[in-house]
Amino acid sequence: GIQVEQSPPDLILQEGANSTLRCNFSDSVNNLQWFHQNPWGQLINLFYIPSGTKQNGRLSATTVATERYSLLYISSSQTTDSGVYFCAVDRGDYKLSFGAGTTVTVRA
Amino acid sequence: DTEVTQTPKHLVMGMTNKKSLKCEQHMGHRAMYWYKQKAKKPPELMFVYSYEKLSINESVPSRFSPECPNSSLLNLHLHALQPEDSALYLCASSQVRRGSMNTEAFFGQGTRLTVV
């Protein structure tokens, strides 16, 4: 299957700070998603972004498919941004593969 | 509506019990999935149904038995589980395009299963 690497594994931020999370993947993909998993386990869809750039409020994402990486930007972080952020990819073959995640802690 | 609903949210079962997890979506998605997530790990794929037919089984032990009664419902039947099967079980669905390729996946809130 496709290998997915996320960095950094852990990130501690002061409220109001900006940050960048990275996702590298080992092969060409048809689908790429960013999720935020909250403390209750819910996986919340942030972006569906197999290529290009998207923005949603304080969050934005960029995928450079030819170079096999994606970036998630968090600006003006808030305590509610805390949680685990997952990148997941597949080839359109139903086998969505997840990276190990980045655990973000935002301190007030 | 992008909602996938799972019941129950929590389940405690003994090793000799039989129980079922349920998942429902009304987005018209024709692919449905079961994932298992252990603590501090990413979700791992267990089963995929496409057009109500089992298309992927990731070598899951037979004590887990999936069922897709119709295009909106997905069940996971559990029997003779072990304590190491305790985990968060996530259901997901996605649209199928061009007849065979999946698109964006949407996940339910999960069932937190404890086997005692």
Q: Radius of gyration of chain B from Cα atoms? A: 14
User: What pLDDT does residue B99 have?
Assistant: 67
Dist. CA B105–CA A43, nearest whole Å: 10
- Residues of chain B with Cβ-Cβ distance to A101 below 8 Å are 42
Minimal Cα distance from B6: which residue of A? A42
- Does the CB of B73 have a partner CB in chain A at under 8 Å? no
Neighbours of B27 (CB within 10 A): 14
- The fraction of chain B above a pLDDT of 70, given in percent, is 97
User: What pLDDT does residue A88 have?
Assistant: 98
Smallest CA–CA distance, residue B63 to chain A, in Å, is 22
Whether the Cβ atoms of residue B103 and residue B95 lie closer than 8 Å to each other: yes
- Residues of chain A with Cβ-Cβ distance to B106 below 8 Å are 45
Q: What is the mean pLDDT of chain B?
A: 95
Q: What is the mean pLDDT of residues B81-86?
A: 97
User: What pLDDT does residue B96 have?
Assistant: 92
Closest by CA position to B8, among listed B115, B93, B89: B89
DSSP A53-100: EEEETTEEEEEEGGGTEEEEEE-S--GGG-EEEEEEEE-SSS--EE--
Closest by CA position to A85, among listed A26, A24, A49, A38: A38
User: What pLDDT does residue B51 have?
Assistant: 94
Over 70: is that where the pLDDT of B111 sits?
yes
End-to-end CA distance of chain B: 36
User: What pLDDT does residue B97 have?
Assistant: 87
Model pLDDT for residues B2-29, shown as the tens digit of each residue: 699 999 999 999 999 999 999 999 999 9
- Residues of chain B with Cβ-Cβ distance to A45 below 8 Å are 2, 104, 106-107
Q: Which residues pair with B28 in a beta bridge?
A: none
A→B contacts (Cβ < 8 Å), by residue, are 30-31, 33, 35, 40-43, 45, 48, 86, 88, 90, 92-101
Over 80: is that where the pLDDT of B1 sits?
no
CB-nearest partner of B107 from A30, A43, A93: A43
- Does the CB of B105 have a partner CB in chain A at under 8 Å? yes
Model pLDDT for residues B88-110, shown as the tens digit of each residue: 999 999 999 876 788 999 999 99
Whether the Cβ atoms of residue A59 and residue A48 lie closer than 8 Å to each other: no
User: What pLDDT does residue B102 have?
Assistant: 87
Model pLDDT for residues A6-60, shown as the tens digit of each residue: 999 999 999 999 999 999 999 999 999 999 999 889 999 999 999 999 999 999 9
CB-nearest partner of A41 from B88, B92, B105: B88
Model pLDDT for residues B27-78, shown as the tens digit of each residue: 999 999 999 999 999 999 999 999 999 999 999 999 999 999 999 999 999 9
